[in-house]
Structure 1
């Protein structure tokens, strides 16, 4: 088992899964479209962000996007995890948790002291995020006016 930064070609292959990841992670709140998927990770990658991949027997089992953003509320640069994905066949084996811990290690070497992510209501992954130490900071609420 290896966790390492994705190569350029691997990053391109990961980006090919953007619609799958968007559909699954947004729990139906967002209609999966290429334009929306590109808006999520492209700015992070353009600003020095990257993917870490979990690889075993030369097969990618999953990945995590890692980057930094400026948090205007705390007025500091914080780590961001815009995406984490594990192929269904490898879920429940601790892949995502290992990816998170490696992402935290990378962010610490970049002198980042805090990391944030967004999770949609109803996404079962929230339990994992809480298990590894994430906590609620704010809640985005909406109301349809139709």
Structure 2
């Protein structure tokens, strides 16, 4: 398995697959359009965020979107993991863990004092994040009508 930045064709594939990734990541509560994904991702890419992809024999298996964010209270610049996704057929093979390790290494080497991510309550990825050393920092609650 190789972890690297995507070429333009691979980036286009990621953007086409991202609505499904966001749908699954939000546990089916959001069904974004391709246009909405572009509205979310393009500003991140313009500000220097990047994808890392997992491939084997030129086959895209998964990706992670990393970059920076600003703490809303302290204005401190931190590393941030915006998205992690592994294609259905490649799940259960440790690809998420490899992507996370590479992302953490890259963000740490860039000097960020902390790395954060957001995850929906009940998402099975929380187990991986906790194994990787992440802990709950804040909780967003909602009351639906």
Q: TM > 0.5 between the two?
A: yes
1:78 partnered with 2:78: yes
- After the TM superposition, which parts of structure 1 deviate over 3 Å for at least 4 consecutive aligned residues? none
What is the number of equivalent residue pairs in this alignment? 145
1:25-79 deviations in Å (ceiling 9; x for gaps):
0012223233432343222111011110111122111110011111122421111
Question: What residue number does 1:58 align with?
Answer: 58
CA contact (8 A) 1:41 1:82 kept: no
- Report the 3-state secondary structure (helix = DSSP H, G, I; strand = E; otherwise coil) of the residue aligned with 1:136: coil
Question: What residue number does 2:34 align with?
Answer: 34
Structure 1: give runs of 5+ residues left out of the alignment: none
Counterparts of 2:140 and 2:29, CA distance in 1: 12
Counterparts of 2:40 and 2:119, CA distance in 1: 13
Structure 2: give runs of 5+ residues left out of the alignment: none
CA contact (8 A) 2:16 2:34 kept: no
Question: How far has the Cα of 1:107 moved from its partner?
Answer: 0.9
Question: What residue number does 1:14 align with?
Answer: 14
Question: What residue number does 1:90 align with?
Answer: 90
